[in-house]
Structure 1
Amino acid sequence: MQPPTLMNLKILLPFQVFADKTGVSRIVAETREGSFGLLPHRLDCVAALAPGILIYENEAEGEVYVAVDEGVLVKTGLGVVVSVRNAIGGTDLAQLHEAVKKEFLNLTQREQNVRSVMAIMESDLVRRLAEFHHD
């Protein structure tokens, strides 16, 4: 019997590596359109993440919750890289939801406008890369 294929997850912040995990069996992330799950054999993808709770599961730690700010998730093969502005780890899910509201969602109008423009630019870049890849 062949051992199960598992993913490697790296959560990056602007100036440090927040987490570098191996043996990850599943990941659940949030986008503006809703939550989605990743399993090891899912096709490669790129997603713009919304502030929320990222969940991953591995054998060593079980199910782990991380509050993350906006960012990008990239899955290539068995590697998943999540690059976000800020992340908070913890075990109390209610406390993490509160941290997301307090730390990541309380933005001034100017910050919201800048983030909106950046999200449009990021989506356009992803679309153009996909078009370039297909040509």
Structure 2
Amino acid sequence: MSGLHLTVTTPMSVLVDETGVASVRAEDRSGSFGILPGHTEFMTVLPASVLRWRTAEGALHFCALRSGLLTVENGSKVAIACREGVLGDDLHALEAEVETLRAAEADADRRERVEQMRLHASAVRQLMQYLRPGRPAGPGAAPFAQRPPGGEAP
């Protein structure tokens, strides 16, 4: 094999379209991994991380990704579709940017969990109000209100 064909795309642009790539290094939730020519079919979700690849000439390139999907096809094509990507030569600056993205994602996740808990608590309060003993039957009453024998509402 002569190398990998690497493509990195966002919804708005193609960031990388390079042939003859010697190796690719990426990171998913399980950790860092490498891809060489001849790699088996593969698909994984990438969190905010830095993608690294080495050309056949030995040049090392970097791209900070804001989560994405990586696929390997036929042992020669590596495709990454991501929300946002930033190409750069300074690994430390890109890693700092990725840490900022991870912190923002963690904060968004925290806010979503808080909102979910708030909605859950509100739903439980409403259920408790409808199921409260002694609540009058009639319009707006709980659908499963107790009725005395004879079928008439109190």
- TM-score, normalised with respect to structure 1: 0.74
Distance 1:104 1:87, change over 3 A: farther
The residue that corresponds to 1:13 in the other structure is: 10
Partner of 2:21: 24
2-side partners of 1:94 and 1:87: how far apart?
16
Count of equivalent residues:
110
Q: TM-score, normalised by structure 2?
A: 0.65
In 2, are the aligned partners of 1:51 and 1:70 still within 8 Å (CA)? yes
Q: Offset of 1:60 from its aligned partner?
A: 5.0
Aligned-residue offset at 1:110: 6.7
Aligned residue for 1:75, secondary structure, equals strand
Secondary structure of the equivalent of 2:51?
strand
More strand by share: 1
Displacement, 1:34? 0.2
User: After superposition, where does 1:1-135 map in structure 2 within 5 Å?
Assistant: 4-60=1-57, 62-77=59-74, 78-107=76-105, 108-109=108-109
Greater relative CO, 1 or 2 (CA 8 Å, sep 6+): 1
The percentage of counterpart residues that share the same residue type is: 26
From the CA coordinates, give the structure whose radius of gyration is larger.
2
Report deviation, 1:59. Answer: 3.0
- The letter of the residue matching 1:19 is V
Q: Aligned equivalents of 2:71 and 2:4: distance in 1?
A: 12
- C-alpha change, 1:18 and 1:79, in structure 2 (3 Å) is same
Tell me how far apart the structure 2 counterparts of residues 41 and 24 of structure 1 sit (CA, whole Å): 12
**CA deviation profile, 1:22-52 (whole Å, cap 9, x unmatched):** 1001000110110110001111111111111
Q: How far apart in 1 are the matches of 2:57 and 2:85? A: 21
Q: CA deviation at 1:102?
A: 1.9
Q: 1:83 to 1:111 in 2, by over 3 A?
A: farther
* Most deviating of 10-19 and 59-68: 59-68
